[in-house]
Structure 1
Amino acid sequence: MTVLPTSLDNEPDILAGPGPEPERPILIVDDNPTNLKVLSKTLTSAGFEVAVANNGTTALKLATYDPPALILLDVMMPGIDGFKTCERLKEEEITQDIPVIFMTALSETAAKVRGLSLGAVDYITKPFEEEEVLARVRLHMRLNTLARALETQNQRLVKTLADLQAAQKQIVTQEKLASLGTLAAGVAHELRNPLNFVNNFAAGSVDLAQEVQELLQAYQAEPQPALWEDIQAVVGELSENARCIHEHGHRAESIIHSMMQHARTDGGGQAQPVELNALLEQSVQLAYHSRRAKDSNFNVSFDRQYDGGIGLVEVVIGDFTRAIINLVDNACYALGMKKAALGDGFQPKLTLITRDLSDMAEVVIRDNGSGIPPTAIEKIFTPFFTTKPAGEGTGLGLSLTYDILVGQHRGTLKVDTELGEYTEFTLVFPKQFRTQANASLS
């Protein structure tokens, strides 16, 4: 088999990949034997392999059986002409991408436009000029090779993108699960108080129940008004214990419910109206106590400036909570680092502010910790960027926070910091949750 002499060694890297395909022939279709002979000689002399057909029907069969690299197609032929042959070639999946160059003595613009509209890539006018034929064939052979290489590379890129998206989804899920592990200690602390109350009141109720039983036995043996008053007093204590058990059990249930909302990793949560101040306080407590679980000596003074008139906001509770916890956890980390460096002379302080801005709400989280280096400011929301030592951060926390607060909740998140002095994050977001589609219409 002869080989196409044109080298592609200097083409872009886009052609890199599996080994070259076997060289395919050029199919010449013309009812004139002289034209077939001249074109065949011209192309074979230039190193091309050729196949010939003297009518459209034969050409369609050959192209389907062994698809050529390119087709030189005469327009005026008996039976089905070149236009109809081209049309049928473009209808079949196996032949639709084969470049077709029409050969014709027709010089009318309308005929050329018709051929190009049917999918032809070029025209060669009879009588043939050998150099022109070779130049056009080489050009379209190369263009077709590049087009197929581009398609192959595009398919690889699509697969690579899908793999990257799957890996990103897995990493994000792992980051969320890691944050759940961090918060477990905070949740345990939050649950410990109501469970301690439940246990104490339940134990006291056991003693009171025993006491009631003894009083009832004594009253049955010898009814006395004093005994009855004692019974009523003990029953009253039992009732109060039951009320307290119910209250603290409900508190524990609320904490677990909040944890379950935070545990959502599928991103499918729906926006719900919620008291912003209460949600912020709950998120702060979870993050703070998870930090204290790691270091029992860690203490922070809180400056809460909650706007009591801010009311309800619509947020995806699990995601929004996770974002606030990330911000507070980073603040606690910075406070801990500065405390370790300065010792007892430093008092960690966390300032929490909410403001009602009509149809918007503002949340400010400020710490007087170690601050952020100027060189890191522009990168803090970049995935996998972290200022923490190796092993202490994935670099995804603030990136996910930004995606949640800015991307999902259509807000703005700004940071103001001074190295060694403070860091302040300011979130402003619409009170009414808007999807991306609705936001684009507003």
Structure 2
Amino acid sequence: MKQDETDVLVLGAGIVGVGAALHLQRRGRDVVLVDRNAAAGDETSYGNAGLIEVASVLPYMFPRDLGHLLRYAFNGSADVHYQLSGLPEFLPWLLRYFQASSPEGAERTARAALPLIRQSLAEHEALIAEAGVPELLRKTGWIKLFRSEVSFGNSVAELDRVKRFGVTADVLDDASIAAREPNLMGKFAGAIHWLEPGFVPDPGALVKAYAALFTRKGGRFARGDARSLQQQGGGWRITADDGPITAREVVVALGPWSDLVFRPLGYRIPLGVKRGYHQHFAARGNAVLQHPVLDADRGYLLAPMKRGIRLTTGAEFARRDAPPSHVQIDRTRAMARDLFPLGDAVEQQPWMGARPCLPDMLPVIGRAPRHPGLWFDFGHQHHGLTLGPVTGRLLAEMMTREEPFADPVPFAAERFG
């Protein structure tokens, strides 16, 4: 069987892999995008809140106050749940996550990620214009609701801290909440409307539009198993459905499955997984949701997607491939109906996905230390949709020896030894 040849293989056709493929293509590389599915954007990139989080300059670090820790320990919180059967697997990672979540660690993470976060929307806007899908981006921002005066006060104080990074937001009282979202029900201590983030009402369609742009510009898509990757001569070889493909370089952008490639090669990068769920609902009557809305004290988010109102959960700690548990959806469904007039479910079963996370809540971007031609681009935690294109740019600049627009050192695999 004849071998196909290319410059770069990109393994994984989610938003991260597609973003890297497009930026490499823009710099003159012949690229083949490889995925186990027949189309792009069918895994983690499909199931999220649809936010391009240009204002989220503070990372999602592990809380350290006693109240949160007790609720999490006794599985009494809707925003975090864990499966006891997976504890031996994820507990060591959680301990590293907790250690990295010191005030000093959070500050380092924020400083490192800031150039990527603040450039993320501009990178999406350029690709959306080139792909011809302006309807897939809404400049609405999102609203964070609070029922507790304490949590509201803490978030207002947080807003004061992030203003030093250029972030803008409106602090809302009951009247201004009602003006922006007339169909919300309940009593609130207040809200913050984060004004800058973009909202994507169909994240899976956006990834597919980017992948279509990639193929229109001469890129190729192949279905194959990333676990078949092997070094061959001075390059790399993978077995795809239509035959083997060889390349000088390969990018691992497999999200929560990246360990299937890097572990057999001897890398001990502490990649963890936070699972999450969503389910779509019709709105009752003429009710309309204008913005994504996070019910912060109850641990769920509602987003006005094309398929319906998407109810998304917080984090579940479990083995990556463990059977789904609908505990968080079941806990939050009634609460969500108290907030907004949700009707019937659009699909029978909730969707489940997995967020790939490193303990310091920064992705791994850059060269694999011990294997020439091997590159990493994974671990984007809660910001995969946000960061896919911008980390693709950073990686492509490194691979083509351009001057990187941001310091790549904090994202190196070597930081884990």
TM-score interval (norm. to shorter): under 0.3
TM-score (norm 2): 0.21
Larger radius of gyration: 1
TM-score (norm 1): 0.21
The structure with the greater share of residues assigned to strand is 2
Q: Say which structure is richer in helix.
A: 1
